[in-house]
Amino acid sequence: MKRLLLIASGIAYLTMGYLSAQPTRKLQQADALYNAGAYHDAIALYRDDIDKIKDKKELSLYLFKVGNCFRLIGEPRQAEQWYDKAIRRDCPNPKVYYYYAEMLKMNEKYDLAIEQYQKYKVLVPNDPLTDVGIQSCELAKQWIATPSGYEITNMRAINSKQSDFSPAYTSTDYNILYFTSSRNGTVGNKTSAVTGEYFSDIFITELDNKGIWSSPKPLDETINSQYDEGTPSLTPDGNNLFYTRCKVSKRNKLGCQLVYAKRSDEGWLTPKELELAADSMIVAHPSISADGTELYFVSNLPGGNGGLDIWKITREQGSEEWSAPINMGPQVNTPGNEMFPYIHPDGTIYFSSDGHPGMGGLDIFKARKNDEGQWIVENMRYPVNSTADDFGIIFEKDREAGFFSSRRKGGRGADDIYMFYLPPINFNLIGKVTDDKTQSAIADATVKLVGSDGTIATMQTPNDGIFRFNLIPNTDYVMVASKKGYLSNKAKETTKGLTKSQEFNVTIALTSTAKPIEIPNIFYDYDKWDLRPESKAALDNLIQILNDNPNITIELASHTDSRGTLDYNYELSQKRAQAVVNYLIENGVATDRLKAKGYAQTQPKVVDENIAARYSFLTPGTVLDQKFIDSLTSEEQKEIVHQINRRTEFRVLREDYQSSTN
């Protein structure tokens, strides 16, 4: 039935006006089948006599027709090959490039598909679906690389080698499914010239206490007939069934109508058609709202936006009278096809489309209204969507779980039914507060968690310095650790864009205020006190420290090496310290939090573990004074010591500062 609707909506676009030579009898028969939408049966006749066509242009158009046949019965690999043959013979119909690109996209040949879309765009610059196709190729690669968190399972217990699609729940415990199938055992037991499969019927399967689905059985002939039936939708109580029936009229035109039936104690009563359009029109794929007052469906009614559109009708509670059809509008409907709507109890509309940017043929989308009442459409992404047709989704009311249909690779047959489930996403953060010099754990530190959603949580670290928090999805977090005698420090994490459970591990290192703290990478030109540009990145980090610790005042201390006179070095170091203070003030630090002090060479550096690890000739505890420097025999080692002594440090003077502006 799905193929039938695509065929019916696409016939107008496939009419060929280029053929002039008299075709063979078989090709005439094939053309008649083609024009009637019997694409499966037309393929064999085309193949029998296509090699008898000698005219290059005429041959290219027949190759194009065969490509159309394969495309519309859901065989993109075969369709790709025939479109390629048509293009190699200079097919004059520009649409061949668009359909070729569509098949390349469905076959995951995205770069080649973009090339063909661009060729088509040169020939037909105003077709809006071209840009959608190009965007789809680019997005598909991204979505496959970053899948959503849904888990997908093929329902092999109920799928067959034929088409199985469009499931529907029949009860609120979700243990009974209706679905559409063209497997053996359908009522008509006749093969469709459109698809080559049996005409579809509605089947039922039930879940037993052991979690096993029963062997599917067709509904009785009250519901199923010699025609195509499918795409069922039921009210939550299971007593009202809406579905699609497609049949061929005497004029051999395809038509589909909505049918509904009521359940009695004895079973389903005789179905009635909802008279919404002429028999030759398409009215299909019903979805009834939970309260029974809205019915969404698919149609090619006049006034739509493209091929097939989603429409709805409404009624008062308890009434049998439906309103006139209402089109869902261009926010949902496109110049392509929108099909298989499903209205979730929360008001979200799910549907399939080949006109919105997607991964392949039909993709599943969801649409929600924003605060301004506008529909916002979002692709369900991979792995719910694939490069094949994905459609006919249903949900449990209170859970991100349900079923959908797909023609993707790896199934049992043509269209298969898949179960999907979004596992609960857990984000756990485990952190540790340590001393930045010794790397030892800090006990009794306060760790404050602040989330972009307004979340605030606080805990004290035990002896091992460990802290733990549970995080929620789509949130930015800052963790601030503090303890008296240390500078506060922070770490950041985010769960935005994450679709799978994850554990975060962070370490927040705190710096003790008991000793001066060196500011690395503060550089001056020789004999000058102006800050060099590369020094400002380190000072910007100091500004951040002061902002994170608003209660401290500090002394900025500048030290020189031992070369030069003491008086001169005092003056130089004081000017260098003041240059740092001036930079901090210029960048918003309060003046009364800062003190500049030049120490010349009077406080030589004492070697710590980190320095000793970098220089093998130095040992921890060594004072790098002039006496030690004179003991060195290597000029290179002496220069290293002078470099270590030339430094800028800060030390905390007070931890109770309060701004005068507070």
- What HEC string does 180-248 produce? EECCCCCCCCCECCCCCCECCEEEEEEECCCCCECCCEECCCCCCCCCEEEEEEECCCCCEEEEEEEEE
Q: What is the largest CA-CA distance in the chain?
A: 113
In a domain, 660, yes or no: no
647-656 residue pLDDT tens = 999 999 998 8
3 has a pLDDT exceeding 60: no
Q: Are 246 and 255 in contact (CB under 8 A)?
A: yes
pLDDT for res 254: 61
User: Same domain for 223 and 318?
Assistant: yes
- CA separation for the pair 87, 575 (Å, rounded): 78
Of 284, 305, 275, 302, residue with least CA distance to 242: 284
Residues paired with residue 433 on neighbouring β-strands, in sequence order: 508
pLDDT for res 531: 84
In a domain, 27, yes or no: yes
User: Same domain for 309 and 438?
Assistant: no
In a domain, 203, yes or no: yes
In a domain, 659, yes or no: no
User: Same domain for 191 and 313?
Assistant: yes
User: Same domain for 131 and 157?
Assistant: no
pLDDT level of residue 252 (50, 70, 90 thresholds): low
295-310 residue pLDDT tens = 999 999 998 888 899 9
User: Same domain for 189 and 262?
Assistant: yes
pLDDT for res 23: 81
88-125 residue pLDDT tens = 999 999 999 999 999 999 999 999 999 999 999 999 99
pLDDT for res 530: 84
Higher pLDDT among residues 388 and 318, named by residue: 388
How many structural domains is the chain composed of?
4
User: For residue 582, what is the domain's CATH number?
Assistant: 3.30.1330.60
Q: Name the 3-class secondary structure at 112.
A: helix
DSSP 628-641: HHHH---HHHHHHH
Residue 108: which domain range?
2-145
Could you write out the three-class secondary structure of 45-62? HHHHHHHHCCCHHHHHHH
User: Same domain for 239 and 319?
Assistant: yes
pLDDT level of residue 255 (50, 70, 90 thresholds): confident
The one-letter amino acid at 627 = K
Q: What percent of the chain has pLDDT over 70?
A: 95
User: Same domain for 500 and 540?
Assistant: no
Residue 18, token pair as written in the block: 């280029």
In the numeric block, the tokens 């159309």 are attached to 68
14 has a pLDDT exceeding 50: no
Contacts with 580 (C-beta within 8 Å, 6 or more apart), sequence order: 519, 522, 531, 539, 556, 558, 596, 648
pLDDT for res 601: 94
Q: Are 280 and 255 in contact (CB under 8 A)?
A: yes
Find the helix or strand (DSSP H, E) in which 505 lies.
Answer: strand 502-512
In a domain, 662, yes or no: no
- CA separation for the pair 280, 37 (Å, rounded): 13
496 has a pLDDT exceeding 90: yes
pLDDT for res 495: 96
User: Same domain for 93 and 241?
Assistant: no
pLDDT for res 363: 97
424-450 residue pLDDT tens = 889 999 999 999 989 999 999 999 999
Q: Which of 193-197, 221-225, 372-376, 487-491 has the lowest mean pLDDT?
A: 193-197
- CA separation for the pair 140, 333 (Å, rounded): 21
344 half-sphere exposure, CB direction, 13 A CA radius: 20
- CA separation for the pair 608, 603 (Å, rounded): 15
pLDDT for res 196: 84
Q: Other CB atoms closer than 10 Å to residue 324's CB: what's the count? A: 8
334-354 residue pLDDT tens = 999 999 999 999 999 999 999
Q: Are 326 and 315 in contact (CB under 8 A)?
A: no
DSSP 520: S
CA distances from 518 to 187, 485, 566, 574, 639 (A): 86, 17, 22, 16, 19
The b/e string for 455-484 (b: 16+ C-beta within 10 A; e otherwise) is eeeeeebeeebebebebeeebebebbbbbe
Q: Are 352 and 339 in contact (CB under 8 A)?
A: yes
DSSP 409-456: TT-SSSSEEEEEE-PPP-EEEEEEEEETTT--B-TT-EEEEEETTS-E
User: Same domain for 319 and 443?
Assistant: no
- CA separation for the pair 161, 153 (Å, rounded): 17
Residue 475, token pair as written in the block: 């949130």
Strand boundaries in 541-660, DSSP class E? 553-559, 594-598, 647-654
10 has a pLDDT exceeding 70: no
Tell me what the mean pLDDT of segment 388-411 comes to. Answer: 95
Contacts with 450 (C-beta within 8 Å, 6 or more apart), sequence order: 456, 477, 478, 479, 480
Of 489, 512, 535, the one marking the end of a domain is 512
Q: Are 259 and 279 in contact (CB under 8 A)?
A: no
In a domain, 622, yes or no: yes
pLDDT for res 181: 95
- Sheet of 486-487, strand order: 466-471, 427-435, 502-512, 486-487
pTM (2 d.p.): 0.71
- CA separation for the pair 235, 238 (Å, rounded): 5
User: For residue 184, what is the domain's CATH number?
Assistant: 2.120.10.30
- CA separation for the pair 200, 184 (Å, rounded): 10
User: For residue 67, what is the domain's CATH number?
Assistant: 1.25.40.10
Higher pLDDT among residues 186 and 180, named by residue: 180
Angle 251-256-259 from CA coordinates, rounded to 5°: 130
- Sheet of 446-451, strand order: 456-460, 446-451, 476-482, 489-494
pLDDT for res 656: 87
Q: Are 540 and 519 in contact (CB under 8 A)?
A: no
Find the helix or strand (DSSP H, E) in which 272 lies.
Answer: strand 272-273
Tell me what the mean pLDDT of segment 275-284 comes to. Answer: 86
Helix runs in 445-603, H state only: 536-548, 566-586
Q: What percent of the chain has pLDDT over 90?
A: 75
Residues paired with residue 606 on neighbouring β-strands, in sequence order: 623
User: Same domain for 409 and 436?
Assistant: no
- CA separation for the pair 606, 621 (Å, rounded): 6
pLDDT level of residue 247 (50, 70, 90 thresholds): confident
User: Same domain for 468 and 488?
Assistant: yes
Tell me what the mean pLDDT of segment 599-611 comes to. Answer: 93
Of 367, 388, 421, the one marking the end of a domain is 421
pLDDT for res 7: 44
pLDDT for res 477: 98
- CA separation for the pair 480, 492 (Å, rounded): 9
pLDDT for res 4: 46
295 half-sphere exposure, CB direction, 13 A CA radius: 31
User: Same domain for 507 and 593?
Assistant: no
pLDDT for res 280: 76
pLDDT for res 6: 47
In a domain, 607, yes or no: yes
User: For residue 471, what is the domain's CATH number?
Assistant: 2.60.40.1120
- Round the average pLDDT of the chain to a whole number and report it: 91
In a domain, 288, yes or no: yes
Of 130, 145, 160, the one marking the end of a domain is 145
DSSP 185: T
